[in-house]
Amino acid sequence: MRLAHYLTRFNLADGGVVRAVLDMCALLASRGHRVDLITCDDTDVPASWKSGLSDVPTIHRIDMPARPLGLFSDAQLALIRPHIAEADVVHLHACWTPSNNQLARLARREGTPYVLSVHGMLDDWCMAQKTLKKRVYLAMGGRRTLEEAALVHCTAEAELEQSRKWYPRGTGTVVPLIFDLDPYRTLPGPEQADQAFGPAGTGDIDPSLPVVLFLSRIHFKKGVDVLVRAAGELKQRGCACRTLIAGTGEPDYERSIRRLISELGLDEEVRLLGLVTGTTKVSLYERADVFALPTSQENFGFVFPESLACGTPVVTTRGVDIWAELESSGGAIIAERSPEAFADAIQLLLADETRRAEMGRRGRAWVLEEMNPDAIADRFEQMYEQAKGSAS
């Protein structure tokens, strides 16, 4: 099958959508599909994809949209048109990209069915942010792009339930994102994290204290402040632990978190590590006793299967679209988004080593079975076949 994917930017600093599309395209190409990747920024596209090899996606780089409002010029659309016309299915990513509407229109003209992945952007929390601007966008063509898609792709039933009200005449479908299990099949062990962040490294890990880990963008929607206040609540209760915050964000927001930590007298209890990647990240998950993310909204949230794959239980909220799946895995506690509720859940787990170990075992087994990449790729292929059928 020939597939044309479009995402404006491939810069991993933009978040999980980029990682999701890279993993999706890589696996589909490895299964023999011709994958054309149309983008304006290939910064974090693997170098091998630019080599012309047959078993990797083919990159088609277009200059950033030349017209106002992020729209392509006619000349740019002429460069894109052959890739749309030759594809069996076009796969567009993200809701609020004006050029998506142009490519959707081009696909309709060429008779090529298209799928649109909304990546959580129509969730209730997201739609409550900048609501007027988003409603205007939908009225000015965004809703038509959704409703005339062969399929609107969601990653979980909870996302489909929240999003479908915005495209009432459209057709939604659910397929989980592809999660690369390779780094988690054989784990590196916690020693690498101890070396980097323990007494011989930065000193942020105290060997005598359990570790509560936050690993994500430092952004207000992620609830970093909620976790810091939960750490304060744990301190007041006499529950000794070290909370590690791994990630980066807007400098002003990071400074506000540092101020909050100091104001609450938690400079010893809460440490900011900065960005942690690669095998050190995997090792840090293993070193943690609990992974906690009090997020307001999360679509798929790769950090959750990452933590579970490392055998570390999760505490999070119903703001995560896959919260029901996480809860049913046996490896997660779903808590109210408050400092007290998170402190309760964390304290419960830290006090019960047997329960932590069992949740970690069950969570890892669930990820390895339910997130098998080939099984999910089968479902993507079925989705594309369904999209093709809608055009016949």
Q: Is the pLDDT of residue 50 over 90?
A: no
Specify the pLDDT at position 300: 86
- What confidence score (pLDDT) does residue 368 get? 95
Q: Is 11 in the same domain as 156?
A: yes
- In the predicted model, is pLDDT for residue 392 greater than 70? no
Q: Are residues 25 and 166 in the same domain?
A: yes
245 with 269, same domain?
Answer: yes
Rounded CA-CA distance 368/372 in Å is 6
Stated length of the chain: 392
Position 314 scores a pLDDT of 99
Q: Can you give the pLDDT at residue 12?
A: 84
pLDDT value at 243 more than 80: yes
pLDDT category of residue 89 using cuts at 50, 70 and 90: very high
Mean per-residue pLDDT, 215-228: 96
**pLDDT tens across 139-152, in order?**
999 999 999 999 99
Same domain, 377 and 299: no
pLDDT on residue 13: 77
Per-residue pLDDT band at 377 (split at 50, 70, 90): very high
Query: What residue numbers bound the domain in which 237 lies?
Result: 182-370
User: Distance between CA atoms of 364 and 291, rounded to whole angstroms?
Assistant: 13
Alpha-carbon dihedral sign for residues 353, 302, 53, 46: negative
Number of domains in the chain: 2
The percent of residues in the chain predicted with pLDDT above 90, rounded, is 92
One domain for residues 227 and 296: yes
Please report, to the nearest 10 degrees, the dihedral formed by the alpha carbons of residues 146, 147, 151, 157 taken in order. Answer: 80
- 21 and 140: one domain? yes
Q: Are residues 27 and 68 in the same domain?
A: yes
Residue carrying structure tokens 């170098």: 47
Q: Does pLDDT of 6 surpass 90?
A: yes
Q: Looking at the structure, do residues 161 and 279 belong to the same domain, yes or no?
A: no
pTM of the model: 0.88
Mind listing the pLDDT tens digit for each residue in 271-311? Answer: 999 999 999 999 999 999 999 999 999 988 899 999 999 99
Over range 122-127, report the average pLDDT: 94
236/116 same-domain check: no
Question: CA 37 to CA 317: how far, in whole Å?
Answer: 34
- For the segment 151-176, the average pLDDT, to the nearest whole number, is 96
What percentage of the chain carries pLDDT values higher than 70? 99
Q: What is the mean pLDDT of residues 41-51?
A: 91
**For 52-75, how does the pLDDT look when each residue is reduced to its tens digit (9 = 90+)?**
777 899 999 999 998 999 999 999
CA distance 146 to 68: 22
State yes or no: pLDDT of 153 exceeds 70: yes
Do 232 and 333 lie in one domain? The reply is: yes
Confidence of residue 16 (pLDDT cuts 50, 70, 90): confident
What pLDDT, in 10s, does the model give residues 232-241? Answer: 999 999 999 9
Q: How confident is the model at residue 101 (pLDDT cuts 50, 70, 90)?
A: very high
290, 315 in Cβ contact below 8 A? yes
**Average pLDDT score, the chain:** 96
Q: Where do we find the tokens 């005449």? A: 169
Task: Say whether pLDDT at 339 is over 70.
Answer: yes
216 and 305 inside one domain: yes
Q: What is the CATH number of the domain that holds 193?
A: 3.40.50.2000
Q: What is the pLDDT of residue 136?
A: 96
Question: Does residue 202 sit in the same domain as residue 251?
Answer: yes
Nearest in space to 295 (alpha carbons), one of 94, 125, 119, 118: 125
How is 47-93 classified by DSSP, letter by letter? Answer: GGGGTT-TTSPEEEE-PSP-BGGGB--HHHHHHHHHHHHH-SEEEEE
Check residue 239 and give its pLDDT: 98
